[in-house]
Amino acid sequence: MKVMILAAGRGERLRPLTDSLPKPLVSVAGKPLIEYHLEKLALIGVTEVVINQAWLGHKLPEMLGDGSRWGLQISYSEETTALETAGGIKQALPWLGDEPFLVINGDIFIDHLPNVTLAYQRIYQGEAQAYLWLVDNPEHHPQGDFAIDAQGKLTLSDEQRLTFAGLGIYHPQLFSQLPEGKQALGPLLKQSIGQQQIQGEHFDAYWCDVGTLERLDKLQRRLVDIETLLPL
């Protein structure tokens, strides 16, 4: 399975750090945020990764290279201006191919990846167009995004909403009719959820949207604390 990491955002709320770096290259506990993703992807056997780039995008290949140090092959989808999530995925489809692919936000941190095998099979077999992981609503997003019904399908119900984790598997057909250019993902997801075409599950591992300096600092302190507890 191929993977796309979304890395083209400006990261306004992480300024001044993002005045000189793309957001996914911001350091957390001595390592660029995006490297944690690359390490975890390599561990589950992923070999091909696509990274989109816009703001200071040249720094991504300068820092990450071709991915060989993780046993990966990294391709870069260059955006002249940031195309937002759906637009960025649409542009990257030639690299992603005709089979379902995993997309991860470059500005989140998770302790480990979910089990993606079953989700991939469901999309591959045509049971849904996408499979999304949802997390408990963080303080900065208490209203949540979507709910999950008893059959594992996502709904737009206001009851028991959870927050989209920025982690999902998509069939390329979901984006086939999308116009080229800047396109948000939210409206496309809501349309497909209304057609009962998206499944999902609750992801209860540690998750952090590293979108502000305060949340970056909390994550930094957590990782340093964990590191000090590890045996030598």
Can you give the CATH number for the domain in which 109 is found? 3.90.550.10
- What is d(CA 109, CA 29) in angstroms, rounded to the nearest whole number? 12
Over residues 193-215, mean pLDDT: 90
Over residues 86-92, mean pLDDT: 93
pTM for the whole thing? 0.91
Q: What is the pLDDT of residues 171-197, one digit of tens each?
A: 999 998 888 888 999 999 999 999 999
For the chain, the domain total comes to: 1
Q: What is the pLDDT of residue 18?
A: 62
HSE at residue 163, side-chain half, CA atoms within 13 A, is 17
Picking from 16-20, 90-94, 163-167, 178-182, which range would have the lowest pLDDT averaged per residue?
A: 16-20
Sign of CA dihedral 94, 83, 195, 170: positive
State the DSSP code for 36: H
Residue 98: exposed, middle, or buried by beta-carbon count in 10 A (0-12, 13-18, 19+)? Answer: exposed
Over residues 1-6, mean pLDDT: 95
Q: Is the pLDDT of residue 70 over 90?
A: yes
Q: What is the pLDDT of residues 14-52, one digit of tens each?
A: 666 666 678 888 888 888 989 999 999 999 999 999 999
Over residues 60-71, mean pLDDT: 91
Residue 91 belongs to what domain range?
3-229
Between residues 100 and 81, which one has the greater pLDDT?
Answer: 100
Question: Could you give the 3-state DSSP secondary structure of residue 69?
Answer: helix
Determine contact, residues 165/144, Cβ cutoff 8 Å.
Answer: no
- What is d(CA 4, CA 52) in angstroms, rounded to the nearest whole number? 8
Determine contact, residues 211/139, Cβ cutoff 8 Å.
Answer: no
Question: Could you give the 3-state DSSP secondary structure of residue 106?
Answer: coil
Band of pLDDT at residue 230, cut at 50, 70 and 90: very low
Burial letters 107-136, b for 16+ CB under 10 A, else e: bbbbeebbebeebbebbeeeebbbbbbbbe
